Structures are given as structure tokens and as C-alpha cells.
Amino acid sequence: MHDDQGIRGTPIRHLGRTLASFWLLYSVFHAAFETAVLRSAGEPVPYLRLSLTTLLQSGIWTGVSWLLFRGCIAALSLRRPLVRRLAFLGTIAGTWALRLLCYACTDVLMRKPLTIDGAAFVRALQAEAVGVALFTVVLAGTVIGMSWWQRQLQAARHRAESEGVLVRAELRVLAEQLEPHFLLNTLTSISALAENDAAAAREMLAGLQDLLAYSIRHGAAATVSLADEVQFVRQYLRLQSLRFGARLRSRIAIPPDLLACLVPRLILQPLVENALKYGVARCEEGGEIVVDAERGIGALMIRVRNSSSGAQASPGIGIGLAAVRARLALLFGNSQRVTLTEDGSGSTVVTVVMPLVRKKGAAA
């Protein structure tokens, strides 16, 4: 059964066109070589006969090669190993005999003056039997090589498509984890606020409706513009300010020329939520959250800084930040980086680095 897993016939695209071009170039080269030999010997050059021979030989070789390729591909597609081998060898033998016969006929017919000579026909068969056999075997080997190569390309394409489907599925799962997580935390904030300030709770609930509308509007998109993500985060911070009041100060400083960059959907909100949960919420005097971005060499760098977490113990890593890391790794592989560090002033900084990708039509 192992042999049955070997090279199988694969249709080769543009086969006739490729063979015709190859044999025409080969015949032209052969005719040019004969012309050079005759001119160097001082003999007359029969241009008309050479031209006709070139066209005729290239046409014959193209036709025979096409039959050989098609026959070998069909033979390699057979399932039973013995039948496959016999059909493959039979195709080689048949095309060898056909090409040899065509060569002998054209050799006799192109003689000047034209004479039908059986002995000359037999001599032509004998003279070219080995050469034609060699060419035929080389062509058969080419069929095997090209079929194997196309099978490898098809397998690689299939693997890439399968991996792409898997990555999209995993990204969808991670995104679906983020949305309920974000919704639960926001509803918890509304619930806590409702006991003390019903009006603020109602306003927060209305704001949550806007956030959910954004999520539904872009739910099928893997990436959105940075401008959309910034607008979402502004609304999210506005809602959280209803809960934290003066304890929460925020600032977003992103250059306008970077707003057209494409980023994964819901990439900023988990970072801001992480800063709120492990910074502002744990500090009585609150703190400031700063979101900024800058352009690197072919890269986009986004930072979320939490000025209140320096007085706390080592900052935690929430579900949102873990999901951000997983999504970026799936999307960009080794071309991304997520780091969480303490700067000199005691603030905690989450830095995301990813490839710089702009929306189509956006100015560079």
C-alpha cells in the first residue's frame, strides 16, 4: 500500500503552450547551429528547407510531447501499482515509437530530390532510435518531476488554507471571550453605581448600548481602524468616569496620521480595562490612564500607561491582556510583542508592537 501513496498524476496548467514554446525555441536553436556550421564550411545554406524543417520538427515534437505528458499523467493517476507502472512504461514506448516513425518519415520526405527509399527509411530509424529514446525518457522524467512539484504546491496551499481557517476560528473564539468579559465587568460597574447614583447608572447603561452597537457593527471584522478603536475606548473611559468620578483621569494622544492604521478589533479596551482594574480601582486617590502611539520602522507601537499602579504590588494580568497576547501571536507570529513594565516614575506601561498596516487608500 505504500507504493500507492507515491507520485500521482496532476494536471499541468498551460501544458500545450509551454511545450510549443519550448520546442520552437529548441528547433530555432538547432537550425541556427546548422546554419553556422554550413557557413563556416563555405557551403550554401538552404534557408527554405531549414525553415520548413524547423517548423515541422517543432510541431511534431510538441504533439508527441503533449501525448507523452497526457499519457504519463493519466498513467500516474491509476490506483493499482502494477497497472500504473505498465501504463507508464507503455506510454513511453508508444510515444518513442511514434516520434521515431515521424522522424524517419520527415527525413525521407525532406530529402532533395524527393525519393521514396525503404532502405533510407530504415537507416533513419536506426540512426535516431537511441537519441529519440533518450529524449523520451528525459521527458517522462520531467512529467514525474512536474507532477511531484505540483502536488507539493497543492499540499502546501491546502495546509496554508487549513491553518488560515484554524487561525480565524481561534481568533473568533478569543474575540468571543473578550466581549462577554467586557460586558460582565461593565454591568458589574453599573450594578455598583445603581445603589448610590441611579441617574449615573442609567447614563452608563445608555453608554453601554453605544458600545454594544459598535461591537455588533464590527463583529465580523478581524481588524478595524485605529480611529474606531480610539472612539470605542473614549466611550468606555467616559462610562468608567461615571463610576470613578474624579479618581479617573484619562488622556489619549495618538498622532492623526496613525488613526488610519488597521489593528485587531478590541485591542485597546482590554489594555485600558487592565489598567483600571489593577491601578485606578486599587488606589484611593485614583490615577491617570494615558494611551499613546508612535510609528516605528514598519511597526506600530501602542502604549497604555497607568500612573496609579506604582504604589501597588506587582500589577496583575487579566483575562483581557492574556487574550490580547494570544490574538496578536496568532495574527502576526514573531512580528509582534506585548510587554508590561514599570517606568522610572513608578507607572505601569503596557506596550504593544505590531506590523504597521494602513487601510487601502489611506495616505502614507
Q: Give the separation between CA 188 and CA 191, rounded to whole angstroms.
A: 5
Cβ neighbours of residue 81 closer than 8 Å, sequence gap 6 or more: 3, 4
- In the predicted model, is pLDDT for residue 115 greater than 60? no
Say what the pLDDT of residue 8 is: 52
In this structure, are residues 211 and 232 in contact, taking their beta carbons and an 8 Å threshold?
Answer: yes
pLDDT band at 254 (very low <50, low <70, confident <90, very high): very high
Per-residue confidence (pLDDT) for residue 136, from 0 to 100: 79
Please report, for the chain, the start and end positions of each structural domain, with discontinuous segments joined by +. 3-159, 196-355
Contact 310, 288 (CB under 8 A): no
- Condensed to tens digits (0 to 9), the pLDDT of residues 4-34 reads 444 455 556 677 787 788 778 878 887 888 8
To the nearest 10 degrees (0 to 180), the angle between helices 15-40 and 47-76 is 150
Cβ-count burial 226-245 (b if 16+ within 10 Å, e if not): bbbbbbbbebbbebbbbbbe
Residue 45 half-sphere exposure toward CB, CA atoms < 13 A:
15
pLDDT tens digits along 165-215: 655 655 555 555 555 666 777 777 778 777 777 777 788 787 777 777 777
In this prediction, residue 67 carries a pLDDT of 83
Task: Residues 196-355: name the CATH superfamily.
Answer: Histidine kinase-like ATPase, C-terminal domain (3.30.565.10)
pLDDT of residue 313: 43
Using CA atoms, how far apart are residues 75 and 81, in angstroms rounded to an integer? 10
CA dihedral sign, ordered 32, 38, 43, 49: negative
pLDDT value at position 315?
44
For the chain, give the mean pLDDT.
Answer: 77
Q: By percentage, how much of the chain surpasses pLDDT 70?
A: 77
Share of the chain above pLDDT 90, in %: 12
Measured between alpha carbons, how far is 1 from 292 in angstroms, rounded to an integer? Answer: 61
pLDDT in tens, 265-322: 888 888 888 888 888 888 888 889 999 999 989 999 999 998 865 444 444 456 677 7
Cα–Cα dist 184/189, whole Å? 9
**pLDDT at residue 135 greater than cutoff 80:** no
C-beta of residue 211 within 8 angstroms of C-beta of residue 265? no
Angle separating helix axes 118-194 and 319-332, nearest 10 degrees: 160
Question: What is the average per-residue pLDDT within 139-167?
Answer: 73
Q: Would you state the pLDDT for residue 304? A: 93
Residue of 192, 274, 262, 284 lying closest to 236 (CA atoms)? 274
- With bands split at pLDDT 50, 70 and 90, how would you rate the model's confidence at 131? confident
DSSP label of 315: P
More confident residue, 314 or 144: 144
Q: What is the pLDDT of residue 300?
A: 95
Q: What angle do CA 103, 105, 111 make, to 5 degrees?
A: 100
* Rounded-to-integer distance, Cα 24 and Cα 306, Å: 72
pTM value > 0.75: no
What region does 186 belong to: left with phi over 0, alpha with psi -120 to 50, or beta? alpha
What does the CA dihedral 218, 223, 227, 231 come to, rounded to 10 degrees?
A: 40
Residue 108 has pLDDT above 80, yes or no: no
Higher local confidence (pLDDT), 340 or 194: 340
Q: Please tell me the least confidently modeled range out of 79-83, 104-108, 203-207, 294-298.
A: 104-108
